[in-house]
Structures are given as C-alpha cells and as structure tokens.
Amino acid sequence: MFNLTGTALARLASLNSFDIRDDVVMFGLRGCLPVSEQDGAPRREVPLDVGEVDNIHPRCTLGLWWRGRDEIACFPGSTSPFKGAIEKSAAAGGAGANQMMTQLARFRVGRHPQSKPPAEQHDAFLQDAEVAYQRTADDLDYDTDDTVSVGIVGDNLHCGFCQSATQPYASSFGCQVVVGFARRAAKPGSVDAGPWKRFRDLAYAEDQDRFPYMLLSGTDARAAAVAAPDSIPARLRYGSSGELVERAQAALKQLKFLKDKPDGQFARDTLFAVIAFQRSVGFLPDGVIGRNTADALKLKNWPSR
C-alpha cells in the first residue's frame, strides 16, 4: 500500500515530460485500486494498493487532480477492455477492442456512446485527440508482440455499469471506465449513482470542459510516491514533449529511424521510430524511452527526477 498525493502526480508528470498547464487533470493508474471505495471527496492523500489487471474485475484507479490546491480524488475503475471483448477481438484479428498505451491523452465533456441515439447516451468524456493503442490477435493480453496504432478510435471515459471493484464489468472495449451507473433516457428507472456519479459531478463542476489525462501504471505511481528524490530515471512516451524529446528525436533521426525534423513532440512518428529502434537493438519494443533505450541511443546525461 502507498499514499498517492498531488506531489506524486506532479513528479510523474515531470518524469514523463508531460507539459500540463490545466488547473484540473484526470489520471488513470493501471493495476492499482483505492484501498476502499470511499466517498471520493478531494483529499491531500489517498491510500492505494497495486495489483494485477484481470480484465474481469475493475482493477484500476481513475481520478482527478486539482493542481492549484494539491488535492486528489480517486475512484475504482478500469483502463483495459473486459475479457469478453478481448476474446471477440482476438478471434476477429484484433478488430473491435483495444487497450490504450500509457501516455498523456485528452478528454472533453460529451455524451457516450456517440454511435447511439441521444436517448441511449449518458454523460461522459470523449476522446479529444489521437491516442496510441494496441490490438491483440494472438492471445488475450496486450504486450509488445501486439500491433500498435495511433488514431481516434472512440476510447472515451465513461460509466462502468458495475456495482463495485469486486464484481465483473462488461462495459469497455477500450474506453476508460469508472465503477457505478449512469442515467439514460431510454432506460426508465436508470440513475446516476456510485463512484461514477461523484467523478462526473466533480469534473462537470469545474470551469473546464477539456482535461488532460495521464495514463500510467500503478507501479509508476508507487515509485513516484515513495522513491527518494532524483532517483527515478526520466521516461519519454506518447504525449511527452520538450527538450528531452527533441534530443531523443535528433538521435533517432541521425540513425535514420525518424525522417522529420525534431520538434519536441512525442507523437505518432516518434512512437513508431522508437519501436523500430528498440527492435533493431533487441529490446522489448514498448515505445517508451527509459534509461536503457537512452543509453542505446547514446544520449548523455539522462536525468533522474
């Protein structure tokens, strides 16, 4: 168990070179649950447990971070599709379900699902920029053997339609979901309830209709919360930006893995260049530049934070 704080989230943003300027930030921690399904009120710290994702029960934390007042609110949910969706997807060559890679994404206030009539939709947050995602066709998990793509695939953030983290969910084919229920006009008697209602109410109350979304792992968050200062090597991934990204891009360009001029934005072309480079040197192609990949790129003075 560890206590998550706004300070730890700020450290995660710095470690990953996420340029975040919004007052309120959404975050997802894969394989990490709040110790209790508490009221979700904003607090200075919230106890979390790291665990394994099973794609049957919600095993992730989704939350809100108020940067200005250093408070957070955490809710149980899932950042991965449910097992039934993965099984159908794998049988169809990967089509129909996907998992967002760890990254900095963006959501905007909207209604889900967009493919349904308004009466069947409910309050949600819609994908507001391209995301990096994986699809699996060889087995029922997402790993470095799976296809990586970038695009708008309707990976929204919405209600999970499940009672608690101890019960199965079946509401995500790639979306980020929060435990609870949502009202839909076409479903008489349906109500907004549970952690989802509290998450939505807090976000909708803000003078902000677009939110950055940091998706990382529970182990990333635990390290940021408990490790000594300046002891965690920086990491670059989809959504990172700044001088460190530009340095990495220059190295990839010099090695002819990247065609475009370095611009300091870790987007589609940089992601695929990193994956290709990692394969060329025998690394697991996770698309993340950590110390090992930085060393292989001969990037000197790689920082720790």
* Per-residue model confidence as pLDDT tens digits over 172-219: 999 999 999 999 999 999 999 999 999 999 999 999 999 999 999 999
Tell me the mean pLDDT in the region 263-289. 98
Domains of the chain are 2-223 (no CATH), 233-296 (1.10.101.10)
If pLDDT is split at 50, 70 and 90, which confidence band does 263 have? very high
In this predicted structure, the answer to whether residue 37 has a pLDDT above a threshold of 90 is: no
Mean of all residue pLDDT scores within the chain: 97
303: tokens are 């920082």
Q: How confident is the model at residue 249 (pLDDT cuts 50, 70, 90)?
A: very high
Spatial separation of the C-alpha atoms in residues 172 and 187, rounded to whole Å: 19
Residue 238 has pLDDT above 80, yes or no: yes
Percent of the chain surpassing pLDDT 90:
98
160: three-class secondary structure by DSSP: coil
Contacts of 161 (CB under 8 A, 6+ apart): 169, 170, 171, 177, 180, 181, 182
pTM beyond cutoff 0.95: yes
pLDDT exceeds 90 at position 38: no
Residue 39 is predicted with a pLDDT of 80
Residues 110-135 pLDDT 10s:
999 999 999 999 999 999 999 999 99
Are 275 and 132 spatial neighbours (Cβ–Cβ below 8 Å)? no
Average confidence (pLDDT) over 280-292: 98
Where does the pLDDT of residue 244 fall: very low under 50, low under 70, confident under 90, or very high at 90 and above? very high
